[in-house]
Structure 1
């Protein structure tokens, strides 16, 4: 096998003749040499008519100098590419040998080595070592012996994190740090978006980080100094005599609120990330340490009510409307629920170019501030939408005596005033950031706005404008203050508990255990791809696993069809025959013919008693045959003219459109010679599994709901009673489009992809609380129970 997986690189014995990447040349023979590097990029596996498979990857030396071409493209072909795709992960250390060298046609664009490494054929070998950042023990002798036959499947890696005082130039690291200063992402001179920050940890070392990416969402979502960041795969390099960190291939970032006693859930746009209880402890330790260090000298965030002339401050507000002034200036109309004590600049703009609310009553105008955004920040305003909550960093309060060169005399209605400017550039962290609904500052801002809104008369003529209503009305402080929005579905509790409603914050501090009634909105749910919510559950060992994807099933069936031990004759306990499948054509154009084996003991006059054993079939062929015959069982031949089940990772039984799986740990499945059955007993899937010693797995649904009310957020699970909640069984959801549509419609009604949070309905829920004690750490969990949905 050309790809060998090791858990730790030995000091000697594995391709010791390593050539540095910088010394590779197309004019030399490197046939006896090897190259070592970290996998920093792995491309997709591509089919090719000549080599069957092709895969491109990039490796980089760990201890390379910045001026050297330390990264190089490697091109793999044939089964080597297939095995590399299946077994190797980004960040693995690899040693490649048996390669040829060719010129890289993309060296000028990707800034990598001028050569490519080409690996194909029997001489090409790749050894893979996983020792950093995975902190794993050395393999046993049995594991080492196993590695020579097949790759080892590793568990989720345990990442190691380096103190900022221990960084070494030229190497890659994972780090945690408290943000001392940051610049929100901004468009750089090139094609990338740039951001920078300065962090510190318990070692006392301060490090600057410079990050580049062509996507805004890959940058850390930092809202204020004092936040905590986790950075994976950053490289230390020297700049002007000081160490700094830059992002590399595979870079990822998580951000946490640095305030004590707040939620430890990370901010990230990634749908998948590695986050454990150890990470939670690290965040808690950094919060505690930072709280006693007085790291942030002063809080620059103030309300409009406290703004004074010539002051620089950070403004947290809600956007009501925006309009372009010219190509270098834009107008943002915002409010934060407070009134500035100074007369504010009034700007007249053509209503046709305003996005959002065009006019307000005199009472509301007193609460609105006009912020003029200049130069490079104009581009940042293009994606802003009325109703968004913003944090505008380093706003300047400008007295009216200062001239506004971008405004003409017709636009300025007041000479003595206070105006707010966001000047161009990124000095002192100038920029604009959209805040999510679950941000604590947004929650506080909403509470202030609710009080203000209740105090303003609502019989104004423009209140009927739907845009105005949604921009000004934030979710109420109490669920009882909202009018239910008719969205097609509603929840109702099916229990008989006589419990009072509690808020989510009250639930968090309540005694563990018991049942609780809440009324909340669904902020988000996971998984986003609902087919991943289907799981397979074993009632015996209590394990839960994902439903295997089509790629895995196809590979297992394909491997079984290549078995080198075909049946020389039918088993003595079966009847042999052939089945014609006109819907499947061989490459020559002939119809497909499959070998089948019918169990003599279980064949009767009723079709429900037929057992069809198939050898050498594909999943599609098994499904096609299951539409006609009741029980189709794919098998593989064994020496001695016997049959055996395929790998239990795939369905062992096909019945109509349904597939049935067995627990690999709890089953002792075998195709027995004389299965014992009662002649009058119906042969259903449970009986078939019992006859052959297979413990059936049951389809279940598992979803995570993020609930919110005015008091905060809460993560709850929907598992045991998901079928009652959706009025759909998990088995139906696995096979029936109608059932899948109902689940999708229900979730879309409770958590629409578009629209304001105020449009989401309030859900009446019964929650069961319980506590676990893992590693001497108490953890509270909540599950939805005794709750069902119905159409309105």
Structure 2
């Protein structure tokens, strides 16, 4: 229902200012369907673009999922009222503020101007209509929203794609996975793998499903998407974003080599992964309905059958039982690429000459280091050195290395910083905090950089939660210095270290050379101070075993892709440390028999070490990631 017309001003996306509350229009170029955040709220992520060619990344939170923007697909047109513009990691962001509201329109030129919103009243004028039509025409000319939308008949192995389809059946598989039976009116080019479920657990019309068994595919949905899948209604028209098609090949004495296509919606929200119900009055649903009606007329009703009979499509060979069982014994990893590669036994890998690349399927027999916090190292890209992260006790000693120099020191100011002396209440100890100026001015705490001398590890941690950036320093006569045996810059849970061998330190006053109108950036700070930054990396040694042989493979260059966890945040984040522990406990559950360990699909490469013997062969893992299929590994 439309409220009385009210005049609103809309700000182009290239004119947004930090701290302002604005109204905007834009075309959706990316979005993640609403999902449960780490707290009690739902979260929605959306990126929009307008005719200024500027884009805005937005993140909205709400306790009620229905109040979040009801976006169905890329290309939708959105109108956001009262969003706050903030700055995060040197990038402008949009967040919801008091009174936030949204309208969502289909982005297709000529489509009805029917808004999707939870608001019972809203303004909508002729100016709004012109704005929407203008954005529709502009994005059609610009082709700014390319979408990986693919029909089942065009699917290729290893593909990630968006599927627009109709839901005809659903069932619980286990605690972390759910089955959806869908069709889009086309026939999959490969025999689809069917998932066994009992009749009483399958929701949907079995007669209707049997009538369309030639066209229906089974999709396994995992982790954070299970709740959404359960809420779907039979007959819903849906789009599944970032669906994964995986070809499974098996050998059988009677039937020879058989290949079956599996479909997985993995856990997490990467690349907009999720499920969205399409609006009933949208052009996508109308187009799908026409296609499905034609196919229904081609497939007359059949005699009633049970769900156990739905495993054989007409004209296709049924997979043997052990092949189907293996299909449902899913790997705890996924391969973002190279799914077309055949699986190679480890016995063959071990006998082959290096360098080569392989796809293997194995279990994790053991891993090193056992203390997982030791797996995060500091790596210098320039000299290739690898070193341990100093522990809390060592860092505490470094931070207070010049403790006595602070005891009787009075605070003083210079042209580029203002200092303050803080004497602790319970210890005969003083701490000096230096507030760095920008253009002769002090900044707000959330934007400012401070230097601290004489603080403890815990005191520095506390200050890093209140200030944008913290630099621990020590005094050398009248000069302030950085100790590269400790972090040179702290930004929240990100502790940045420098290479003592490759760095050529400049005076801290070089900080004044940084741009005055940009936030403190770790890369720019390091460059100004002459520091060669160290990167946090995972370094692990995994022993893989597939029954034909075993080998040790390193996991480090591609470890962040594997775990989907930033190594730099592990040392200071207990929650991430717990997640890493859960992942390794899932991969290598030592309380079980080895035959019960989960399977891992991995890409590995063999290589000779630099300056090493050609007889030595090493292996490392690449292009492999945890699927977060089990609840222990769940991201969200």
TM range (shorter): 0.3 to 0.5
Q: Which has the larger radius of gyration?
A: 1
Structure with the larger RCO, 1 or 2 (CA within 8 Å, 6+ apart)? 2
TM-score under structure 1 normalisation?
0.37
TM-score under structure 2 normalisation?
0.45
